[in-house]
Structure 1
Amino acid sequence: MDLSNKIAIVTGSGRGIGRAIALKLAEVGATVVVNDIDEAVKGVAEEIKAMGRQSLPILADVSSSSDVARLVEETIAAYGRIDILVNNAGIARDQ
């Protein structure tokens, strides 16, 4: 699979499955916008950059519509488009 010239957003990519997905997308050529509510996402972006790929970490809470709008706006501002969205982040609500 070759994802060169593709722009991907991976939500919840600060650790676990999201991190693995982000790294795999970068490995096959994608530019990856990594998103999480945790600062760990900055480290994932650095791992991707160390692979020779572009990456942008964006701290945003996907349960907040204004944060999601900002995530999209910052991605478009940086790269001009979004080709791939991996909606990996989970939302837990206390009941």
Structure 2
Amino acid sequence: MSTKDKVLFALNPSVYLITKGAEKAVEKIQGMSESPVFELQIETARQELLSQMAQAQARVAQELAIATRINTAETVEIEEFYDTSGKGGLSATINEGAITSWRYR
């Protein structure tokens, strides 16, 4: 710590610390390259993928729980519900030897 810094700190410690913090922040920003932004983009994509995987695992666990309840129940009643709003759709995708279709509302 230089003599100037010691005097400034003795006169007003709060202003001295705020000034030093601002100087360090400016130095850090000036020294940054595009690499941290790229790393953040990669981390964002990774977190989104993890979130999608967790959602899929939760759906599978839910279906397994339903299947277990059905398997262990003495009687099973199945109710079918029909959408009477008339809204919905059907989509299909055809790729080299595979056909995928799904219904949405």
TM-score, scaled to structure 2:
0.17
Larger Rg: 2
Tell me which protein shows more helix as a share of its residues: 2
Tell me which protein shows more strand as a share of its residues: 1
Higher RCO, 1 or 2 (CA under 8 Å, sep at least 6)?
1
